[in-house]
Amino acid sequence: MDLSRRRFLQYCGLGVMGVAGTATLAGCGGSSDTSTDSGSSTDTSDATVANSEKPLVWFNRQPSNSSTGELDKDALNFNDKTYYVGFDANQGAELAGQMVLDYIKANADKIDRNGDGVIGYVLAIGDVGHNDSIARTRGTRKMLGTAVMKGDDIDSEAVGTNSDGSSSLVKDATLEIDGKTFTVRELASQEMKNSAGATWDAATAGNAISTWASSFGDQIDVIVSNNDGMGMSMFNAWGKDNEVPVFGYDANSDAVSAIAEGYGGTISQHADVQAYLTLRLLRNALDNVDINTGISIADDAGNKLSEDTYKYVEDERSYYSLNVAVTAENYKDYLDSTVTWKEVSNQLDASSSPEKKVWLDIYNSSDNFLGSTYQPLLEKYDDLLNLNVDYIAGDGQTEANITNRLGNPSEYDAFAINMVKTDNASSYTSLLS
């Protein structure tokens, strides 16, 4: 079987496309399209293995309570071959905040555009109920000194507008640079959710910065975004023309390239390592080898990750990649976000790791990071790991848009799941139980 073959199962009319060069599926006749390409398809699944015992990796959205952040241990321990792959959210969030702070300090002579002594920033929040978004909001506020505690944690709610610094959700901070004292103020923040309910919405962020600019004008000195998709929308809509630095997260290729044009910086969450771990854990479980083969233990092809690229938290059954700040000093090293990590780019031998079939979904076909960075990496690693992956594109709004296309889990050997909402793990595990 040609492992370069991709099958994109999607609802008709969604307009979802995968990587450039992948043909749109044709022949839709019902509420969903489960047709494949014209090549022959071999069912490689082992009918003797119950679906509930097959390898499962959650990725990008960690099963958890969207209100409290408490991990869903039932989902993370669905079976003894279940894991989560993401990145160290707290380390990355504080690194992102530090990146903004460092920029302000380095550009103190020009950062205060109207000279009022107040360094005003606006914040695009991706999803108020998403652990990673919460961490990034907290990281920004912590490092800039604007954080207010809510119980034991920093308040991560959106403030709306805060032109006079009177909000109870954030506070004004004092920053001394080269003998001059500035006030740092969060002028505005909101969750970027569109009218259909999709979060992390780039278009909404673009509209928001236009609205904020009309209200605040040259009071806005810095724009901070929970991700690059929203950040680039704000940069293109207003930040670039007004020479206001925008800071994002994800190190998407377009954002990294835009650093040369004034984009302030971004954070690489080592998507190349995450994508590898997502499929590598499935591969190891399918091969019944040590789960850390090709991770902390070199495999027969020489694949092995260095310790400074990831960490494993045993009681969370979670592998986390570590983050790197991408700024004007080093951005040229990160211009192509779809290059596999060199340490783990060696082809596995099909005789010892035979082809297996994997069901994998992306929660939102419009998500910039997952669509332009993560999935292209997955598609490179699936070849290297001898995995035949069906990529399912969601609408970013409902779990049913995805789960309705897992009608025959027995067809697959393993599963990789990216939920719309972190609370909804049971929508998937109930289909495998």
In terms of Cβ atoms closer than 10 Å to its own Cβ (0-12, 13-18, 19+), residue 4 is: exposed
> Is residue 37 over pLDDT 50?
no
Residue 17: predicted pLDDT: 34
Q: Which amino acid is at 323?
A: N
- pLDDT attached to residue 67: 82
Q: Name every residue whose Cβ is closer than 8 Å to that of residue 322 and which is 6 or more positions away in sequence.
A: 87, 88, 91, 92, 270, 308, 309, 310, 311
**Mean pLDDT score, 92-115:** 96
CA gap 53, 35 in Å, rounded: 27
- pLDDT, one tens digit per residue, over 278-310 is 999 999 999 999 999 999 999 999 999 999 999
What is the pTM assigned to this prediction?
Answer: 0.77
- pLDDT, residue 381, reads 98
- The answer, yes or no, to whether residue 39 has pLDDT greater than 50, is no
> What's the rounded mean pLDDT across residues 261-274?
97
Percent of the chain at pLDDT > 70 equals 89
State the CATH class of domain 90-268.
Answer: alpha beta
Tokens of 325: 């700040």
Q: Where are the domains of the chain?
A: 53-88+271-432, 90-268
In this prediction, residues 72-97 reach a mean pLDDT of 96
pLDDT of residue 34: 36
pLDDT (tens digit, 9 = 90+) per residue, 301-335?
Answer: 999 999 999 999 999 999 999 999 999 999 999 99
pLDDT(12) > 60:
no
- The pLDDT score that the predictor gives to residue 86 is 96
State the alpha helices, DSSP H only, in 120-175: 131-144
Q: What is the dihedral of CA 246, 249, 253, 259, to 10 degrees?
A: 30
pLDDT mean across residues, the chain: 90
Percent of the chain surpassing pLDDT 90: 86
Higher per-residue confidence, 158 vs 32? 158
pLDDT tens-digit readout, 143-159: 999 999 999 999 999 99
Kindly provide the b/e burial profile for residues 119-133, where b requires at least 16 CB atoms within 10 angstroms of the residue's own CB. bbbbbbbbbbbbbbb
pLDDT at 190 over 60: yes
Predicted confidence band of residue 41 (pLDDT cuts 50, 70, 90): very low
Q: From CA 240, how far away is CA 48, in angstroms rounded?
A: 58
pLDDT of residue 259 exceeding 50:
yes
Q: pLDDT-based confidence at 47, cuts 50/70/90?
A: low
Phi, psi of 371 (to 5 degrees): -75, -40
Across the range 365-390, mean pLDDT stands at 96
Lookup result for tokens 């799941």 = 417
Q: Rounded to a whole number, what is the distance in angstroms from the first to the last CA of the chain?
A: 30
Least confident range from 42-56, 138-152, 354-368, 408-422: namely 42-56
Residue 69: the pLDDT is 82
User: Residue 45: pLDDT band by 50, 70, 90 thresholds?
Assistant: low
